[in-house]
Amino acid sequence: MPLRRESDQCHPEDHVGVTFVMVDDASSNRVICRVTFEALCDRAAKDGDGKNWVKAWDNHMLAIEALASANFDAGKALVGGKLLVDTQELTPMVAAG
């Protein structure tokens, strides 16, 4: 079942990433998600923005949320109670190269 963002609130943390909450359509399943700091830095570098990970979050937030939803639907295991989006998903060529 696809997820949607619960609210506009997110929690950016230097060297951790951005944590955000998503819910299913019935709002009965609340999932804490995080895009990793490394994924955001790699995405920023790929975009030509150096290591501006906050800009990467702003520019790719919708894609990151879609990846988190797809990970949930695929049954990806939680890490530390969070559903992670990592470099391999956000910037595949960086992880492969």
Give the residue extent of every domain in the chain: 3-92
Say if residue 97's pLDDT is above 80.
no
The predicted-structure confidence for 58-77, as pLDDT tens digits, reads as follows 999 999 999 999 999 999 99
What is the architecture of the domain spanning 3-92?
Answer: 2-Layer Sandwich (3.30)
What would the two tokens of residue 75 be?
């049954």
Report the chain's mean pLDDT, rounded to a whole number: 91
Q: The pTM is what?
A: 0.90
28 DSSP 8-state letter: -
Helices (H), 1-97: 37-46, 53-73, 87-90, 92-96
| C-alpha separations of 79 from 36, 64, 85 in Å | 11, 17, 11
- What is the rounded CA–CA span in Å between residue 43 and residue 14? 15
